[in-house]
Amino acid sequence: MNFGVIGYGYWGPNIVRNLRGIEGSEVVAIAEVSSSARTRAQKAHPGVKVVSDAAELFKSPDIDAIAVISPVWTHYDLAKAALMNGKHVFVEKPFTSNSAQGEELIELAESKRLTVMVDHTFLFTGAVRKIDELIRDGSLGRLYYYDSTRVNLGLFQHDINVLWDLAPHDLSIMDYLIKASPEAIVATGQGHLNGHEDVAYMTIYFPDKVIAHINVNWLSPVKVRTTLIGGEKRMLLWNDLEADEKLKIYDKGVDIDSREGVYNLLVSYRSGDMYAPQLEQVEALRQELSYFIECIESGSRPFNDGQAGLRVVRMLEAASASMKRKGELVAL
């Protein structure tokens, strides 16, 4: 499988390194508009063709698939050109700048029988796989809430707000884990520096009283990456910054008793052991790219396909609309 990679900024080098490390996969060309980034690419990968114009990749008969690792506003044009030229496409998240673009790309890929994968890398980590298992096998019980905090100082992007920059991680994980369709979104936020919101909060309403909340912030003095998930039977805390013990599962919960009188508590608390399961030590991106190759070869549809990417984009669109109107409820 021969790859072309467009974009060699922050994330592109990881894509190239991993694709080159997979048996049977090769990167034949890299396109990048910045000359200094091209120099870096060429130095790190002497045998690979490095060009400034992505069009060279679309035209190349040697290339089977193209990875689009450039800013979000370029995704639609680049992915469309790749698909039009018969290339499978791996697109950085968020998938597209709006849902209409996403829908069009999905349709185009289907009509050409090409595979589209959106880079929701976290779905391939040991932590998310383990949480998924705990939800699937009933360990957590009925879900109550999903509450994620993803804050740090920067990376400030100048062309999108903090929701589009940081929340795609959380939304793609939440979409994968909860599986139900969200009903409506409320978002609030504020921009202090360049016109785009740098602090933002999203509430997502799901059926059956499941509620999700995402706190993203570019102006935090400390880096936080924590997700709390509460279920009827168990609750968990995922702290992605912990070297070990990233995932802690608490045998804790609440039982409701019948109402007895105004001064009595109605509830009792269960509190038991905590355990931190050992997680698979895999490089998630390597796993994801191997899976992309497998899906292309077998013709099967990846779970992180264009539809998954589109669901995330629709939530981002709804959240941006809600945020602009100060928390107005936007149905999905």
Q: Between residue 124 and residue 183, which ones bind a second copy under the rule CB under 8 A? A: 144-145, 147, 149, 151, 153-159
Buried b (16+ CB within 10 A) or exposed e, 287-322: bbbbbbbebbeeeeebebbbbbbbbbbbbbbbbbeb
Count of residues for the chain?
A: 332
Among 35, 61, 137, 222, binds a second copy (CB under 8 A): 222
By rule CB under 8 A, what string of x and - marks binding of each residue 231-260 to a second copy?
----xxx---x-xxx--x-xxx-x-x--x-
**Pick 180 or 241: Cβ nearer a second copy:** 241
**Pick 137 or 265: Cβ nearer a second copy:** 265
Of 188, 167, 208, which Cα lies nearest the Cα of 312? 167
Among 61, 111, 262, 299, binds a second copy (CB under 8 A): 262
**Pick 108 or 212: Cβ nearer a second copy:** 212
Of 127, 90, 126, which Cα lies nearest the Cα of 109? 90
C-alpha separations of 134 from 218, 246, 271 in Å = 31, 15, 18
Tell me whether the omega of the peptide bond preceding residue 155 falls within 30 degrees of 0, making it cis.
yes
Q: Are 309 and 95 in contact (CB under 8 A)?
A: yes
**Pick 111 or 243: Cβ nearer a second copy:** 243
Q: Is 28 in the site for a second copy (CB under 8 A)?
A: no
**Pick 113 or 263: Cβ nearer a second copy:** 263
Among 39, 52, 181, 190, binds a second copy (CB under 8 A): 190
Among 22, 51, 160, 184, binds a second copy (CB under 8 A): 184
H or E element that contains 59? helix 55-59
- The stretch near a second copy (CB under 8 A) out of 49-57, 59-67, 86-94, 199-207 is 199-207
Among 192, 294, 300, 324, binds a second copy (CB under 8 A): 192
**Pick 106 or 214: Cβ nearer a second copy:** 214
Using CB under 8 A as the binding rule, the residues of this chain from 74 to 113 that contact a second copy are none
110 contact partners, CB below 8 Å, separation of at least 6: none
C-alpha separations of 208 from 142, 171, 199 in Å = 9, 19, 29
Residue 180, exposed/middle/buried by CB under 10 A (0-12, 13-18, 19+)? exposed
By rule CB under 8 A, what string of x and - marks binding of each residue 263-302 to a second copy?
xxxxx-x-xxxxxxxx------------------------
**Pick 28 or 228: Cβ nearer a second copy:** 228
**Pick 235 or 293: Cβ nearer a second copy:** 235
Structure tokens at 208: 């059956």
Q: Are 207 and 180 in contact (CB under 8 A)?
A: yes
Structure tokens at 305: 């396909």
Among 1, 22, 28, 211, binds a second copy (CB under 8 A): 211
